[in-house]
């Protein structure tokens, strides 16, 4: 009598007792969750460091340091340079190269400088935004995948119920609990991914605004040097 009432309802037994498709769904979700957490941490570190480096470079730049000196430092430490430093370096290199050419047009000079900075900016943004799309898709898809596993599990559970003459809650409950595990894992993967995506997208946006405004201001400074 007790056999029907005392199913072992620990989480592990629910997972191991699930049917193969449900287990596949669970494995897939677990993998997605693993990767999303990996990218969450990676992005968090990268963005924090980028923000620090940007702040540091802005401080140096606006404290009235010599542009040539800043450029030399950026070239020497290219490997450890931050995104903003690289943008500055690209723009200044283009500017100095063009300026040495005789009879250069001011407008063309400024255009090419801005283009060089724009290109570096795009590249840096691409680097910062990488794998944010992964987080977004995990956040939006994994609940559905989990739901698929659950629906499958419940379907099986009800099909098994057809063989039982008198259905009680104790017949249905284990199957449903088993199936719901898939949804739980899906949500477990999705929630941090969505939260992290929103957070990082905001951070990247902030950085982008900082870079763009710096580009504009730096162009102005260079243009002023020409006169």
Partner 1 sequence: MTATAFHSRDEALAGGLAFAMHVLFLILLVFGVSWQHKPIETAAVVDLWRDLPTVAPPKTEVEPPAPVKPEPPPPQPRVEAKPPPKPEPAPAVKPDIALKEKLDKERKLKEQAVAENKKRVEEKTREAEIDKKKRAEAEALKKKQAAEADAKRVASEEAKARDALANQQAAASAKVVDEYKRRIIEKVRRFIVLPPNVSDSAQVEFDVVVLPGGEVLGAKLKKSSNSIPAYDAAVERAILKAQPLPLPSDPALMRQFRELNLVFRPKE
Binding interface with partner 1 (CB under 8 A)? 2, 5-7, 9-12, 30, 33-35, 37-42, 45-46, 49, 79-81, 177, 188
**CB nearer to partner 1: pick between 90 and 109:** 90
The answer to whether the Cα torsion of 31, 32, 35, 37 is positive or negative is: negative
Q: How far apart, in whole angstroms, are the C-alpha atoms of residue 222 and residue 220?
A: 5
Between CA 217 and CA 123 the distance in angstroms is: 20
**Min dist. Cβ of residue 101 to partner 1 (A):** 32
Rank residues 30 and 155 by Cβ distance to partner 1 and give the closer one: 30
How far apart are CB 31 and partner 1 at their closest, in Å?
A: 11
Q: Provide the minimum distance between the beta carbon of 45 and partner 1 in the complex, in angstroms, as a whole number.
A: 4
Helices marked H in 63-168: 67-76, 83-100, 106-129, 132-161
| Comparison of 42 and 195: residue with beta carbon closer to partner 1 | 42
DSSP annotation string for 7-38 = ----HHHHHHTS-HHHHHHHHHHHHHHHHHHH
Nearer to partner 1, 52 or 220 (CB): 52
Q: Provide, rounded to whole angstroms, the least separation between the CB of residue 109 and partner 1.
A: 30
């Amino acid at each position: 009598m007790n056999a029907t009432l005392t199913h072992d309802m620990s989480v592990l037994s629910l997972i191991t007792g699930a049917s193969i498709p449900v287990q596949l769904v669970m494995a897939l979700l677990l993998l997605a969750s693993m990767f999303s957490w990996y990218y969450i941490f990676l992005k968090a570190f990268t963005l924090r460091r980028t923000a620090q480096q940007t702040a540091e470079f802005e401080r140096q730049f606006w404290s009235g340091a010599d542009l040539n000196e800043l450029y030399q430092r950026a070239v020497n430490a290219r490997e450890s340079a931050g995104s903003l430093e690289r943008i500055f370096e690209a723009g200044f290199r283009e500017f100095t190269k063009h300026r040495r050419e005789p009879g250069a047009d001011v407008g063309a000079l400024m255009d090419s400088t801005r283009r060089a900075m724009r290109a570096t900016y795009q590249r840096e943004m691409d680097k910062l935004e990488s794998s944010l799309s992964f987080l977004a898709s995990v956040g939006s898809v994994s609940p559905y995948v989990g739901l698929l596993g659950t629906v499958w599990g419940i379907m099986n559970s009800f099909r098994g119920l057809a063989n039982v003459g008198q259905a009680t809650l104790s017949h249905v409950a284990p199957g449903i609990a088993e199936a719901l595990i898939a949804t739980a894992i899906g949500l477990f993967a999705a929630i941090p991914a969505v939260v992290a995506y929103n957070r990082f997208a905001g951070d990247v946006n902030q950085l982008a605004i900082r870079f763009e405004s710096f580009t504009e201001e730096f162009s102005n400074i260079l243009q002023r040097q020409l006169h």
